[in-house]
Structure formats: C-alpha cells, structure tokens
Chains A and B, each alone.
Chain A
Amino acid sequence: MTVVTAIRTLVSPATSDKVAMMMLWISASIAILILLFILGYIVIRGISVVNLSFLLGSPRLSGAEGGILPAIVGTFCLMVVAMLSAVPIGIGAAIYLAEYAPKGAVTGIITFGVECLAGVPSIVIGLFGYAFLVIYLGFGFSILSGGLALMFMVLPWIVRVSEESIKAVPMGLREGSFALGATKWQTVSRAVLPSAVPGIVTGVILGIGKAIGETAVIMFTAGSSLLMPSSLFDPVRALPYHLYILASEGISDTMAYGSSVVLLAMVLLINLAAIAVQKRYGRYHGRK
C-alpha cells in the first residue's frame, strides 16, 4: 500500500472535504491580507502629507516640500496622448482580427506579433521610445514621446481585450442583422460593436490603469521636469517616476509615500470607473 492510499483509507471524505475548504480559505485570506497590508502600510505612512496644498501645489526643493500638481497633470497628459492614439488603432485592429481577417497565416502572424508586443519588457519599450521618438523623430523628452511610448505598451492589451469582446458577441446577433438586409460593416458597426462596448470599455479603462503606474517607459521618454507643461512638446515627470526619484535619491520618504497614496487613489478611481461604465452600458444587456 502506498502512502497516498494509506492516507485515503485513514481520512474520511468528510474530513478531507473540510481540510480542502480550509486550505482554500487560507489561500484566499493570504491574497487579501497582502493587499490590505500594502494598502495599509502606504496609507499610514503617506496620508499625513496628503492635503489640498499637496495635491494642488508645486514642488519645492526637488519635491522635498510643496505639492505634486505638475506630476499629476503630467501623468494625466501622458494618459490622454496614450489613449487617444491607442484606442482607435487598438479597436480598429481588433475589429479587423475578429470580423474580417481570414483565418490563415497572415492573421496568425498578426496575432503572434500582438502577443509578442505584449510580452516586451517595459524597459525595452522605453529604450526604443528614447531612440525612435526622442532622438530619431526629434520629439525630445516630451508628453508626445512619453504618450506614444505608453501607447506601444497598452496597444496589445487593448487589441486583445477588444478582440475577445467582439468575438464573444453571439453569432445569432450577426445573423439577425444580416437577415434585415444589413451589410457587413453595418452589422459590425451597429449590432456587434454596441454589444461589445462594455467589454471594450472595461479593457480600455484597465489599460489606462496599467499605463498610469508605468515608470520604465516614461523615464526614457517623458523626461523629469517638475515644471507645469504648456505644450505637447514639453517634458513632464509622471507620478510614478516622481515617486521613484523621491525615494531613490533620498529626497523625502514621507513625500514618496504621499505620492504613492495619490497614485493608488487614481488607480482605484479608474477601476471604479470601469465598474460604473460596465453598469451604464450594460443596461440594455438584460437584467441578470
């Protein structure tokens, strides 16, 4: 008799059921505890400096004093540029892949390419952005360079999520549209896309969430200026990079934790927005 079968004969099914549930409960608890621990640690250390003048003020002494408004604005501008470029391209590519592309070698290569792009480490994308956008195209350290480099990061994510959402639209819906005399594009634009919107929007918003915390890409492309930007070609310092500099150069730990709290709050808000959008656009998708 092996050890396993020996244990099986010793332990009753009811006991092993309890043990299994216990183990799963412990795993789930650890996962949540880690999250709560990180959140709690950062909030406790950082919340003391977060107030209105911190949010709306300009940094003094390299950020050791003052506020973080330029970094918040910088992050926001980078987000806008990244999303304005990534969303149309990403959704367009997704529609092509899901609805039009013939199932064949070329489509396989595109899909493989998209997956590879998703796997490229962000520091490599940062380096490429520096060589291509900052130097070769001459955009310099700027919102434009940083935003476009971030676009490279989130594009594959948006393509994949949108493609999945479009493919998940039931075939019956397309048939219903065709049967009314719709052309392919009419069917895609009027029946399929509206049905896929909740999934696409959620994907896009979570993409913003990914991009907002990105540091490696933007430190090579967006610069580190603490001044308020006034054009697309001005350099900015995004919040995560500001945090990195505050901490790594020993400027101010408290300010670093304060920035972390703000960054976390922004990510949390974005996730809440994703939920709200899903509810809003999902209202025609039937009561569950």
Chain B
Amino acid sequence: MTDVEFDFLRAYLKTRSGLALTAEKRYLVESRLGPVCRRFNLATLHDLVGALKTPRDPAVEKAVVEAMTTNETFFFRDRTPFDLFKDVLLPEAIVRRAAQRKLRIWCAAASTGQEPYSIAMMLQDAAPRLAGWTVEIVATDISTEVLEKARAGLYSHFEVQRGLPVQLLLKHFEQIGEQWRISQGLRQMVDYRPLNLLHPFDALGTFDIIYCRNVLIYFDAPTKGDVLGRLSASLSPDGALLLGAAETVIGLTDRLVPSPTHRGLYNQARAAGARLASPVAPPLRRVVGL
C-alpha cells in the first residue's frame, strides 16, 4: 500500500465512520482490509482503493467500514456502568418518571448486543417495580453485520463467560449445542437499528439514559464534540450519559458536565447548573460549605 493509498483510506474512513486513523495504524488497515480484498476477489489493497473510487460498489464500501470497526464487547463490561444503572440511575428514573411511567434507554454503539442485553437483564430483575411501565431499549451500531448477530442473540461459550455471572447464564440463556442463546423475552426487549453516529439521529427521539461507551475514542476532537453535542440534544434535561473509561466531555462540549459523584457519568450542563443554583439541593450546601 502506497502512502497515497493509505491517505485515501484514512480520509475515506474518516468521512464515512468518523474513524480517525493515525499514521501508526497503517498495520491495522493492512491486516483488517486484507480479508475484504479476498472476499471481493481483489488482489491487493491497491485494487481495493480502486474499487472504492469508481464505480462505487455499496457492498465493498460497507465491508471496508465494518472491517475497520472495533466490535470488542462483553456482558457487563467494566461492571461500574451497570452497577450504576442498577443502584442509582434506574431507582432515580423510577421516581422521576413515576407520572409518565415511561423510560427510554439508548445503547449508541451496541456492537453484538452484550451491552443492551446486560441492561435488559437488569430491567427484567426490576420488573416488579416497572409493572405498567413502557420501557424501551434502542440499540444502534454502524455495522449491520454485528446487529444481525445481536438480534440472533447467539453467543459462544467464550462470549458468555466474559463478564456474565454463571447464575445469569443459567437464568437467561438456552444451550444450543456449543452455543448459548439469550432468551426470547430479552431479545424482544431490544430494538436494534443501524445507525452511523456521524449522521443525524434526532429522529430516534429523546432518551433518559444513553450508553455511548468506547466509540468516541476512535474519533478526532471536532467529531467527538459534534457527536457529544447531538447526544446532549437527544438526552432528556435530567438524563444520564455514560461514556467509556477513556472518554470525557471536557474540552469537547459545554453542553454536558461530568457527574461530581460517579466516574463515567455525564449530565446536561443546564440541569447541573440548575441543581447548583437550587437552595434546597443537598450538594449545594457541601459545595459552598454552608
């Protein structure tokens, strides 16, 4: 692959998926796009670049973007964002939304489904407290291939052992030969849709809780700022945004602020400002030392 071809692929992936590749990631492009070449009977990356230029084949374009997307995920990944959901966000939402009895959750980089299904398991455990509620889990990903796997809900024994306690495996999965299928009830709780975060997503509506973890790290700063600004617009005023451990809003948008108490949790700046201005809010007393 020549420098010119690498630069073309960098620009191409940046435009289509937001992926910001540094020069050191050249090896990644070569290793991941090699199989795409073979799949489409293209001899070299030079031929692949040619195929992407003209005439454009949507199947090749899709395969290139999907091959470069990192789909690493597992059940209850990093644990803390899920403990936070179970112990803080869900109980708070049940109080705050008691009148509407409606809760909307969005997993913005759902990959093969482990994150939305982890949330669905916790919601099923909380079912008695949510009787009569409308609870939606919308799960999106740029890759239609991973969404197909997510919808099928079929996992290898390696996948079900990373992060998933064995008690939950027995409770929520059915063994099918060497694989494990998540229950139909949980599969029906999640609405999977293809979505490129670079494109408008306001049509999805407003959410109470958004998980957008470990995807912004692949974007450059202006793209991160743009996506965060639009995530803020899709988040209810008292909503919660959860980012990955290596991600932040600081220096990227002023519409969201880190939670003072929970790492990885972000709230609307306006709502946080309103809480600080409230004379009855307990944190105010501590913040100003009264």
Asked if A pairs with B, the answer is no
| Residues of B that sit less than 8 Å from A by CB | none
